[in-house]
Amino acid sequence: MHRICSIVFAGFFLTYIPLSVLAQKADKISISGHVKEVDSGEALIGVNVWVKELKSGAVTNTYGFYSLTLTADQYTLVYSFIGYEDVIKVIDLQENKTLNVELTAKDLKLKEVVVEAEKKDKNVSSVGMSTVHLKMEAIKKMPVLLGEVDIIKAIQLLPGVQTVGEGTSGFFVRGGAVDQNLILLDESPVYNAAHLLGFFSVFNSDAIKDVQLYKGGIPAEYGGRLSSVLDIHMKEGNNKRFSVKGGIGTIASRLTIEAPLFKERASFMLSARRTYADMFLKLSSNEQVRNTILYFYDLNAKFNYRIGKKDRIFLSAYFGRDVFKYFQNDTQNSEINLNWGNATGTLRWNHVFNHRLFSNTILTYSDYDYSLGQTGDINAFTWYSNIKNLTAKINFTYYINPENTLKFGICSAYHRFLPGTASGTDEGGIFNEVTLPNNNALEHAVYLSHEWTVTPQLSILAGLRYSLFQNIGKGQVFTFDENYTVVDTLLYKKGEIFNQYAGLEPRLNIKYAFNNQQSVKLSYNRTRQYLQLASNTRLSSPLDIWFPASPNVKPQLADQIALGYFHNLQEDTYELSVEAYYKKMSNQIDFRDHATLLLNERLEGELRFGQAKSYGIEFLARKQKGRWTGLLSYTLSRTERAIPEINDGNPYPASYDKTHDIAITTAYQLNKRWAIAANWVYGTGAAVTMPVGRMEYWGVVTPVYSARNAERMPSYHRLDVSATLKARKKWWKRIDSEWIFSVYNAYARKNTFSIHFFQEYEFSKATYAEKLYLFSVVPSVTWNVGF
Amino acid sequence: MPKHSSITIFFLLPMILLSNCTERIDLELNEEENVRLVVEAWLTTERKEHTVRLTTTSSYFENQHPPPVLGAKVQISDGTNVFELEEFRWDGTYKTAEDVQGQVGKTYTLSIEYEGEVYMATSTIHRVPKIDSLGYMNVYEYDDEEYDKHHLTLYVQEPKGIGDFYVFKTHVNNQARSLARALLISDEFIDGNYMNGVELKNVGFTIGDEVRLEMLSISEEAHDFLRSILLETEWQNGLFDGPPANVKGNISNGAMGMFITSATSRYTIKIE
């Protein structure tokens, strides 16, 4: 299979590329360079580089790099980016040329209220659809829970992205499950994006530069998850001057330092965040609560170094941890503790081979682990589990001419799963050691994609990805009979490839623009997923169990088709879009009733497989310019699953299926000092199973159910508001500061998170229903300072 | 056991974060038209009257005792002997003669004939170790749970060989506690170990209580059934529950409930 992989890879390059190269004319000359922000030296992504004479142009990539291939002549290049002053360069292009440009923000005030900064008419003109790019400035304006700015919460307001309940870091994109989102932090996968049960995400807003979400039309360079890609980039670090930013919030404090090094050839960013929720617990009247320690912290670091004109190196890392400790009594000698966290690391090397060929070589490492334990008596035990990933990839971008761009690359990943090892820790304790066998797997992919501007109206982005997954020893595989009882156990030697899956993943995007304001787009993508999360709960639990495809678990597969209409009004002030999608997913996983997922060696015997489908219409309206900005999103959708052994094989709505979902966010700049913002969200009830009767056994009244998820929860709605006050004067003429006051759930609606059914007391004949809600009104204050 | 401990920790975490975020509500529920037979049957190695209770499902908020099933023909057989059960109470309870006693290793079949339908279940009696001793400890508890003063401590040798399942049943001053206060144990993590004074945290006792603890061996099927009931009721925590589902028993022909057979080991202690 290795051979097949390399043949396909070679095939891509040997047949496709030379043809494309031959297709070019010899007298073409390239101009390329980087576009940066003048203040911070941060690369600007999505800057429009317009050749006035030709009425065509290019856009800078993720690293701020652009390239244009033109015939020898005189040209006027216009570099434009929303919120920044245009830069106009007149060039006489006679030989290949490098032109680096720095853009200046028009006005700080305006820049702050920009919801999104990218090519002005990108909504209409880009070939991609079902993607949303969010700038941190916009996210920071939104009112949030306890003042903690959160990328994931902002993503959840977009059409096609759903949540269950509130305060969760999990999100469901177009009917896909939580583990079907590929979350990348500087290209490194993040396995668990939740802090503190998901009330906060692991992304520290001060360390993040921008966020891109792909819900469909996923480009060929991404793979490994079915439903979406959330691509998050950390700040590179100010390479012009030393800067410090910090904030003190209701539950957390943040500090970020950025500075240039080696005469602006390098820069770094260092950011830290720590919560102090447990300080408030100390004030509790309940002794049990007082004896609890609960906090999390994050560290983000990034370093980049420019070696000559052609090479740049980036090194970035994330480390975060949640800690929960609970003392069983006053003497504090018996303790229950639970801690979990992610660590990621990325090494990237950007190389400009020549004016047309750009490469990005990446090495990433990601680790998620948790441990749970109890000390102090003979019940003492510890339980540890982790998942690790090591990935190497090379991506190339080849700018053939302004009409044609090729992207191609290869990627290899090693996954290691340690599902759990538990053992007693006390001398004379009662527990034996139990270790679930490790799992190892390799995942490889090659891809090629071609963006072709056929005419100014018509563009096509066509891509093909080939992925190969291999289970590799040392490993243990159970064989199950039709009753899911283990009938055989197979053991494999270290390094032995004992199972593999492979397949093609075609991707296609087509755009037809009627004019500068209107376009229609069509996309199709097939995605494959080889890793999944064993979770059947609604909130993301830190006790994650990721498991790979195997002889018993076929890879998940999805096909999605989407059609959209895009319309910009009043010089791109208003952006409108309507998209319809249909998605079919196979080898979807659910669990048998009352499954045991934790520390279960025979986990695969708890799995049940079937199909899922999702379809819907999404409407998005945005205003991104001016004193007031806002976003209106509406989703009408349906997601159904059908698994032969669940619900008697009848299709049932997914637990996150909501028919209507509405989000409105708006911000208004009152004057130089005051800005206000509000969010309102509304969703019809998610699908839920409710009792149709009861039975009694050994003094306990137990609900009896009929169909799964046949009922609906009450509808959900919530208003959040915030106000930002900038300090009148800068301290010592340098230091800016601002206060942010926010109220989450302003009208204190007790939104139902879940409904439970209880018996009054033992042997009682009386029962009652109780709803659980997570938050009433939550006010908060945050103070930010920086220079 | 770590499984259950972890569940406990998980209860604590949301409890601390979300205290008082619950509210009783009124709900209109749909009702299932077909009423199903519910069987609660238990045969042990003790020489006594063993009981089978037959009831039916009813609507969830009915707030009445479950409708009894009367006039059924109930018998338990071990392959050679057949024990007839007779109806003896208004609530659907049927009992064997006084001298019936199950034997470890034997497989028993329960059969019920009612309104022309036949319902069957089989179960084997597994081994149980003898409880060496019980103790109790004065536990410090946080002030909001004042009544929990003492926990039992258990001394018993778990027999070697994985695959033993137990349920601990408690009687306080001759009053049986329900499944909600029972303790379910699988030997998966403790196989062959000596329980040298393990604290049983499921029930708290006060001074003067006479406590009888029964350690009952059960099949894996019965363990899963009781665990499912607890998952649906006592172990609900609001945040990390799996999807609700019917508890699956071992009675044929669409009836609910479980026929459990056990070897019993018991110990009585007075808290002083």
> Which residue on chain B is closest to A433 by alpha carbon?
B189
Q: How far apart are CA A574 and CA A631, in angstroms?
A: 10
Answer yes or no: do A286 and B144 touch at CB < 8 A.
yes
According to DSSP, the β-strands at A28-37 and A97-98 are parallel
Q: Which of A208, A194, A186, A196 lies closest to A140, judged by CA?
A: A208
Q: Which one of A289, A705, A762 has the shortest CB-CB distance to B178?
A: A762
**Best mutation site among A430, A753, A755 for testing chain B: the one with the most B CBs within 10 Å?**
A430
What pLDDT is attached to residue B234?
A: 86
Peptide bond into B149 cis (omega under 30): no
Q: Which of B35, B119, B121 lies closest to B73, judged by CA?
A: B119
Q: How far apart are CA A129 and CA B92, in angstroms?
A: 65
Answer yes or no: do A691 and B23 touch at CB < 8 A.
no
Q: Is the ipTM value over 0.85, yes or no?
A: yes
Give the pLDDT mean for A614-622. Answer: 95
At a CB cut-off of 8 Å and minimum separation 6, what does A7 contact? none
CB A244 within 8 A of CB A256: yes
Min Cα–Cα distance to chain A from B200, Å: 11
Q: How far apart are CA A181 and CA A169, in angstroms?
A: 12
> Which residues of chain B lie closer than 8 angstroms to A692, CB-CB?
29-32, 59-60
Q: Is the pLDDT of residue B219 over 90?
A: yes
Q: Which of A10-19, A56-65, A391-400, A436-445 is predicted least confidently? A: A10-19
What pLDDT is attached to residue B105?
A: 95
Q: How far apart are CA A510 and CA B136, in angstroms?
A: 74
Q: Which one of B140, B243, B245 has the shortest CB-CB distance to A329?
A: B140
**B231 backbone dihedrals φ, ψ, rounded to 5°:** -60, -35
Q: Which one of A593, A692, A756 has the shortest CB-CB distance to B32?
A: A692
Q: Is the pLDDT of residue A487 over 70?
A: yes
CB pairs below 8 Å between A and B: how many?
A: 255
What pLDDT is attached to residue A4?
A: 36
Q: Is the pLDDT of residue A125 over 90?
A: no
Min Cα–Cα distance to chain B from A382, Å: 8
**Best mutation site among B246, B250, B262 for testing chain A: the one with the most A CBs within 10 Å?**
B246
Q: Tell me: the pLDDT tens digits for A176-207?
A: 999 999 999 999 999 988 888 778 889 988 89
Min Cα–Cα distance to chain A from B17, Å: 9
Q: How far apart are CA B157 and CA B151, in angstroms?
A: 19
> Which residues of chain A lie closer than 8 angstroms to B260, CB-CB?
none
Q: How far apart are CA A692 and CA A419, in angstroms?
A: 37
Q: Which of A76-90, A612-626, A743-757, B76-90 is predicted least confidently? A: A76-90
Q: How far apart are CA B115 and CA A191, in angstroms?
A: 56
Q: Which is more confidently placed, B146 or A209?
A: A209
Q: Which of A9-23, A373-387, A511-525, A700-714 is predicted least confidently? A: A9-23
CB A297 within 8 A of CB A318: no
> Which residues of chain B lie closer than 8 angstroms to A595, CB-CB?
242
> Which residues of chain B lie closer than 8 angstroms to A776, CB-CB?
21
**A314 backbone dihedrals φ, ψ, rounded to 5°:** -125, 135
User: How many other CB atoms are found less than 10 A from the CB of residue B160?
Assistant: 10
Q: Is the pLDDT of residue A106 over 70?
A: no
CB A134 within 8 A of CB A211: yes
Q: Which of A217-231, A234-248, A504-518, A552-566 is predicted least confidently? A: A234-248
**A210 backbone dihedrals φ, ψ, rounded to 5°:** -160, 170
CB A540 within 8 A of CB A152: no
Amino acid symbol at A74: Q
Q: Tell me: the pLDDT tens digits for B4-17?
A: 444 444 444 444 45
At B195, list the tokens: 């329980």
Q: Which of A456, A559, A580, A430 lies closest to A512, judged by CA?
A: A456
Amino acid symbol at A712: R
Q: Is the pLDDT of residue B18 over 70?
A: no
Q: How far apart are CA A254 and CA A271, in angstroms?
A: 7
> Which residues of chain B lie closer than 8 angstroms to A655, CB-CB?
243
Q: Which one of B12, B188, B242 has the shortest CB-CB distance to A591?
A: B242
**Best mutation site among B15, B63, B144, B200 for testing chain A: the one with the most A CBs within 10 Å?**
B63
